[in-house]
Amino acid sequence: MSTHARWELPFVGQPTVCTAGERGSAVAEGTTGPRARGAKRKRPAWVEWPLLVGVALVLALGIKTFFVQAFSIPSGSMQNTLQEGDRVLVDKLTPWFGAEPERGEVVVFHDPGDWLKDQPVKHQNAVERQTQRVLSFIGLMPSADEKDLIKRVIAVGGDTVECNAGGPVKVNGVALDEPYIFPGATPCGDDPVGTVKVPQGMLWVMGDHRNGSQDSRYHQRQRAGDGFVPVKNVVGRAFVVAWPMNRWATLPVPDTFKGPGALAAVATAPLAFWVRRRRSAEARGRADSST
């Protein structure tokens, strides 16, 4: 009599008889039945690839819609910070949480009112148009139908801007130090607008190549009020130059913008101190006279 237990695999047809030792070997190899064999099957490549591409497109569309989108620079109005043809990545996430543009940021925004009407239309052949459609769909290029601009925020709602020929740009009475301006360009010389109060919910924007940028100054001179950009028109902040690779760079807020309000407070501190001392002396004088 055999010392090994015998069992039968539940296969359809002629049963296979094996020993318990053989069964353990079969389990280890994962070949103990139809289910085990089925678990080893893989989807054909012609099924997997479309699924992978579909998932990638959905992810890309989601990223483009809610997180980051690429934009190309159409002109030299932001030289030398940005060159024509550069690709920048724009943060579209923070505006969803209520964040608003701040002074010094480079932002992409929708045309606030025919700022682009005099710009030449770029003609594309069928291949270029189709390529741009595909790349814009996944966020690697802007859509040909989008009318967007890119400038630097100089002032926000409630600020007072001074822009006079021969002088620096001033925000709330404090002169800006602007080393990013294109070499040889003047801060305000070609489009002086004097003193302007920025309404709440609006922005005052300027290109870094001041002599080659039709920005808030130019449009304000064309018609009063046309130089402001509504905050709601802002797509997002450009935070990095992503292409070409040899121009990769971040786009931080320049030091001169890290608190025009604070700079103004420092500038007016001596006057405020003198006023407080005068008021204190007058109060002491009235107290002495009353006694």
Residues serving a catalytic function are 77, 151
Strands (E), 30-144: 68-72, 87-91, 106-110
Check residue 102 and report its DSSP letter.
-
Closest to 108 in 3D by CA, of 86, 126, 130: 86
Do 204 and 228 touch, CB atoms closer than 8 A? Answer: yes
Rounded CA separation 238/228 (Å): 19
Do 128 and 232 touch, CB atoms closer than 8 A? Answer: no
Cα–Cα separations (whole angstroms), residue 260 to 36, 102, 159, 195: 70, 11, 10, 16
Closest to 71 in 3D by CA, of 85, 56, 51: 85
Do 180 and 151 touch, CB atoms closer than 8 A? Answer: no
